[in-house]
């Protein structure tokens, strides 16, 4: 909201970034499976996580790292997403609770990032 009480024109958009592991295994393989006990084969190297965070921050994103080192969440205005991923605002609005929107991995992040999914905005009520 602005000082006048009107909503701001640009909402924050969020995406989940799945990092590439050393082993080549994806945490997404575990969907619906039992806990593997050891997540090390699914974890990205610390240096790759740090480099990915710095690159996303340089592009204008706020970056949040999960505690297990498996994925990142990135947040920015729609204009930053449009500039970085070439996705229109109408495409961004297509993301829903049933269907996330896959985003292209920027060339300079391909060695570190497996996949990027645009998440739907939270439904508050």
Domain residues for the domain of 99 are: 13-27+39-118
* pLDDT at residue 2, rounded to an integer: 39
Contact assessment for residue 117 and residue 15, using Cβ atoms and an 8 Å cutoff: yes
Quick: pLDDT tens for 86-115.
998 888 887 765 678 899 999 999 989 999
Q: What is the pLDDT of residue 3?
A: 42
Token duo for residue 26: 């994806």
Phi-psi label, residue 24: left if phi above 0, alpha if psi -120 to 50, beta otherwise:
left
The pTM for the full model equals: 0.81
Q: Residue 113 carries which DSSP code?
A: E
Does any domain span residue 109?
A: yes
- Return d(Cα 15, Cα 94) in angstroms, integer: 13
The reply to whether 33 falls in a domain is no
User: Is 34 inside a domain boundary?
Assistant: no
Distance CA 115, CA 97 (A): 18
Q: Is 73 inside any structural domain?
A: yes
* pLDDT(26) > 90: no
Ranking 9-13, 28-32, 84-88, 120-124 by mean pLDDT, the lowest is 28-32
Total domain count for the chain?
A: 1
8: confidence class by pLDDT, cuts 50, 70, 90:
very low
């Amino acid at each position: 909201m602005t000082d006048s009480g009107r909503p701001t024109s640009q909402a924050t958009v969020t995406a989940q970034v799945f990092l590439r592991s050393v082993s080549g295994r994806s945490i997404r393989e575990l969907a619906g499976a039992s806990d593997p006990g050891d997540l090390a084969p699914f974890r990205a190297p610390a240096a790759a996580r740090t480099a990915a965070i710095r690159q996303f921050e340089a592009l204008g994103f706020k970056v949040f790292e999960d505690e297990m080192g498996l994925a990142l969440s990135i947040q920015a205005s729609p204009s930053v997403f449009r500039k970085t991923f070439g996705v229109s605002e109408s495409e961004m609005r297509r993301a829903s609770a049933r269907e996330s929107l896959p985003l292209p991995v920027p060339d300079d992040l391909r060695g570190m990032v497996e996949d990027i999914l645009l998440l739907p905005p939270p439904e508050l009520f």
